Structure 1
Amino acid sequence: MTLPKLRLAIPALVCITFLIYWFMPHYSAEDKAYYVSVFCAIDHQDPQHFQNDMQRVIEGGNSDYALQKIHYIPALGKQVTERWQQLSAQERLKAGEDNHACQQMLKREL
């Protein structure tokens, strides 16, 4: 590659990298902790209902008169449920019985 082409390629790569980073979802530690706490509070019997149950709890907590309503973020909910599914059966059993242990196990990897 010649020097003029290289001078154009480097800024283009920097711009592309920046755009990829910009459009990737970034969730705050507070959002992650909130979703983990909601997940640990819902019923863990049927994985088919995890997303719906989380959405119902998160959006159901909005007051009718609230100026800023909290909306469910499906991608973050999916991250939490995928983390749950990575736990061993024994860890899931312990997490289902102890809310604090559930939150610690799920927060560890998010």
Structure 2
Amino acid sequence: MKEPILQKLEFHKIVEKLVNLCTSSIGKDEARSLQPSTKRWYIEESLAETTEAKETIRLRPNVPLAGIKDIRGPLKKAEVGGMLEPDELLAIASTFEPQEKCELFY
């Protein structure tokens, strides 16, 4: 979509509102990178993902998301054979370990 159209729609304001609702740096980065699409398949896929996320939250409101940390750097480091520091290992562990009991995980 062309920039003048995005400005007229105030798309940047919508993105900033979304960024402010995100609780993790990964979510904020993903929100900032969003661009509107005119491809029908992409729009339908995105709507399906949104519907799935809303249903998950509706059916399981206690899904623990608080422990999510940005572990992209350590994962890339490990992928190329780098040695991870203890704090990187702890961040990975806390991201994958549920912080509280949730029927989604048990």
Q: Name the structure with the higher helix share.
A: 1
TM-score normalized by structure 1?
A: 0.23
* Higher RCO (CA 8 Å, separation ≥ 6 residues): 1
